[in-house]
Amino acid sequence: MSLLFRIFMPPRAAAAALAGVLAGGMLLPIEAADPPDQATSMALTGIMRDLGRDMQAVTDAIAREDWPRVAALAPQIGDHPQPPLTEKLRILAFVGKDKGRFRRYDKQTHEAAQQLAEAAQREDGSATIRAFASVQTACLACHQQFRKPFQEHFHGRR
């Protein structure tokens, strides 16, 4: 199962949560529900910061040919922590019709991180570098599509 499917909960739980919100008449426009001052409290911000740290650590470990370190870091990237349920719902509402693409990027990242761990366990430097490039490519694709709009919406940055 892809990481975003786990992040953004099973369909049955998502449907139940959405039904509860809709039944209660509490579905507000995104702009009203997400003022920029709430951005600093978003768990996703910390998760992304930690992922950046882990990506830098993998780069260092590859340069040192520290394959056990790469193998240990890869699951932290592919299976990173999840934001809380309320934040997941806010993010899904914001992503809207593009949530399929958002999930595909995460699935690509998850799968590439698994390949990274496997290559590092084999101590195959070339395969490790290729797998890491795949992780970076998936991250970059997602960031290029979603980072700026996300930051503008949730953080009030232009």
- Provide Rg for the chain, Cα atoms: 17
Residue 31 lies in a domain: no
How many domains would you assign to the chain? 1
In a domain, 23, yes or no: no
Residue 19 has pLDDT above 80, yes or no: no
Is residue 107, in this structure, part of any structural domain at all? yes
Report if residue 82 sits inside a domain. yes
Q: What is the pLDDT of residues 84-132, one digit of tens each?
A: 999 989 998 999 999 999 989 999 999 999 999 999 999 999 999 999 9
Between CA 72 and CA 53 the distance in angstroms is 14
Cβ atoms of residues 124 and 77 within 8 Å = no
| Structural domain boundaries, residue 110 | 3-18+38-155
Q: What is the pLDDT of residue 127?
A: 98
pLDDT (0 to 100) of residue 157: 74
Residue 156: pLDDT band with limits 50, 70, 90: confident
Q: Which of 46, 130, 109 is nearest to 101 (CA)?
A: 109
pLDDT for 37 beyond 60: no
Give a yes or no: residue 91 inside a domain: yes
CATH of the domain at 66: 1.20.120.10
Which tens digits make up the pLDDT trace of 50-82? 999 999 999 999 999 999 999 999 999 999 998
Distance CA 55, CA 13 (A): 31
Look at residue 86 and tell me if it is in a domain. Answer: yes
At 41, the pLDDT band (50, 70, 90 cuts) reads confident
